[in-house]
């Protein structure tokens, strides 16, 4: 790299295409006035990679720049044999905070929270509380939107905003100003559930308490943004028919990329082999009525598409907490109606298309009406079945204790492809017997 200094904006623009070695070298050329902001704006994975490339003395400076919750995330991303050394780089108070955070599961509220929050006693006077909060603000608390009122045992008693304090008389007690109906979450709650609570109540920060009601920290909106983005990324990757990546796309090695994709792709390939088996089972019917083969791609794609639509809708509704396993019967009724309606729409389009093509090109022979009826009836059945199968599979997978996102659209499509062929050729045997079959 040249000796010329880089601005943070210049490095941010080329950052995604740089190798880990180039990133470490480029980071050293960032203008000193901007380097702190650039470092704090990186993801935990990127911060960990840069810190691992640094010398020990320099590493201490950057580790101590991180907030305790961020430092805990970074330490958990370095190799296990380096974690103790990274923890020792922190000052004693921060080290204790980070060690406490690392004791929680990484995806729990306790592992996500910041232990640095503004706190007050209920017996304080408002004037005293304001002066006390001013001192706390200088100690780098996570946020000063709210101050949390704790008793001597550190149990959460209430919450008060700065605005409420400023408009209250200076000699009034904090306990008379605070709101007692505080929304909080247990420190063991899953981070995606925490995100839903914050979104549902439109909060900037959410207190985290232990089993005894003692306040342990706060989860802020900026923490939740990362959680939501990570969860959405994992779900989208699973819906695409692969394992979720552990690192950003450009930082994932080719070997890891192939391993993540090969398993599901192989399973889907084996599943699609059943389609060939189904075609082979009806080989005699296809030989006697070759025209049936013309509509096989249309039939199986319609069923797969309807199933993929349904499974995507249900998985997302589950992720947002809109539906639960107990709602499965309501979903069956809704999707049965939707599937029949969609099937009739596609059947009408297919019927019209066959009749028009026959009138113009005489493509389907003298029994075109029976062929058109076969395709139309099959579409109603296959689309209805695909919709029901796609909507119920996430419930079955959730019931078994797995992530519903594993009911990926390609998996549903493969399942419906095979069953769609069975429906199609059985309808053909019923409607074309005595004419083409």
Domain boundaries, the chain: 8-103, 119-237, 249-431
Is a pLDDT exceeding 50 seen at residue 62?
yes
Which of 18-22, 127-131, 291-295, 357-361 is predicted with the least confidence, judged by mean pLDDT?
Answer: 18-22
Mean per-residue pLDDT, 192-204: 89
pTM of the model: 0.71
Per-residue confidence (pLDDT) for residue 279, from 0 to 100? 83
Does the fold of domain 249-431 match that of domain 119-237? no
Mean per-residue pLDDT, 303-309: 92
Mean per-residue pLDDT, 217-238: 83
DSSP 8-state class, residue 5: P
Better pLDDT: 284 or 159: 159
**DSSP string covering 361-389:** H--S-TTHHHHHHHHHHHHHHHHHHHHHH
Per-residue confidence (pLDDT) for residue 314, from 0 to 100? 93
CATH fourth-level superfamily of 249-431: SLC41 divalent cation transporters, integral membrane domain (1.10.357.20)
Is a pLDDT exceeding 60 seen at residue 3?
no
Per-residue confidence (pLDDT) for residue 66, from 0 to 100? 92
Other beta carbons less than 10 A from residue 2's beta carbon: 6
Which helix (H) or strand (E) segment is 219 a member of? strand 215-220
Per-residue confidence (pLDDT) for residue 1, from 0 to 100? 42
Is a pLDDT exceeding 80 seen at residue 141?
no
Q: What is the overall mean pLDDT for the chain?
A: 88
CATH code, 8-103: 1.25.60.10
Judge contact between 406 and 397, C-beta under 8 A: yes
Judge contact between 37 and 8, C-beta under 8 A: yes
CATH code, 119-237: 3.10.580.10
Tell me: the pLDDT tens digits for 92-120?
A: 999 999 999 999 988 899 999 999 899 99
Is a pLDDT exceeding 60 seen at residue 136?
yes
Q: How confident is the model at residue 403 (pLDDT cuts 50, 70, 90)?
A: confident
Q: Taking the alpha carbons of 89, 92, 97, 103 in that order, is the dihedral positive or negative?
A: positive
Q: Which of 197, 120, 117 is nearest to 157 (CA)?
A: 120
């Amino acid at each position: 790299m040249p000796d010329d200094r880089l601005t943070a904006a210049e490095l941010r623009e080329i950052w995604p295409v740089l190798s880990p070695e180039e990133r470490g070298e480029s980071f050293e050329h960032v203008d000193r006035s901007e380097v702190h902001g650039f470092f704090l704006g990186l993801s935990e994975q990127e911060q960990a990679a840069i810190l691992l490339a640094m010398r020990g003395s320099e590493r201490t400076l950057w580790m101590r720049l991180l907030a305790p919750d961020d430092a805990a995330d970074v330490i958990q991303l370095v190799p296990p044999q380096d974690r103790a050394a990274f923890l020792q780089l922190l000052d004693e108070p921060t080290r204790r905070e980070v060690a406490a955070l690392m004791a929680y599961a990484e995806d729990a509220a306790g592992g996500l929270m910041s232990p640095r929050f503004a706190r007050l006693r209920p017996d304080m006077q408002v004037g005293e509380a304001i002066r006390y909060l001013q001192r706390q603000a200088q100690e780098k608390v996570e946020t000063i939107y709210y101050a949390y009122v704790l008793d001597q045992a550190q149990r959460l008693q209430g919450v008060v905003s700065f605005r409420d304090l400023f408009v209250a008389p200076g000699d009034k007690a904090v306990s008379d100003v605070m709101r007692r109906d505080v929304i909080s979450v247990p420190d063991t709650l899953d981070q995606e559930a925490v995100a839903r609570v914050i979104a549902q109540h439109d909060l900037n920060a959410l207190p985290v308490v232990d089993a005894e009601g003692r306040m342990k920290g706060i989860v802020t909106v900026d923490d939740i943004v990362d959680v939501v983005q990570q969860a959405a990324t994992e779900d989208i990757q699973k819906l695409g028919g692969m394992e979720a990546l552990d690192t950003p796309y450009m930082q994932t090695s080719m070997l890891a990329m192939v391993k993540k994709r090969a398993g599901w792709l192989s399973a889907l390939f084996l599943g699609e082999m059943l389609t060939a088996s189904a075609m082979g089972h009806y080989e005699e019917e296809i030989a006697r009525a070759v025209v049936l083969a013309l509509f096989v791609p249309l039939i199986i794609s319609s069923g797969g598409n309807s199933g993929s639509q349904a499974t995507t809708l249900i998985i997302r509704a589950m992720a947002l907490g809109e539906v639960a396993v107990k709602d499965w019967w309501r979903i069956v009724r809704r999707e049965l109606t939707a599937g029949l309606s969609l099937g009739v729409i596609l059947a009408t389009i297919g019927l019209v298309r066959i009749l028009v093509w026959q009138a113009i090109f005489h493509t389907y022979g003298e029994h075109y009406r029976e062929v058109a009826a076969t395709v139309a009836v099959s579409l109603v059945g296959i689309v209805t079945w695909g919709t029901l199968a796609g909507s119920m599979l996430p419930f079955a997978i959730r019931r078994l204790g797995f992530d519903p996102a594993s009911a990926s659209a390609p998996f549903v499509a493969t399942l419906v492809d095979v069953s769609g062929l069975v429906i199609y050729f059985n309808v053909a045997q019923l409607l074309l017997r005595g004419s083409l079959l």
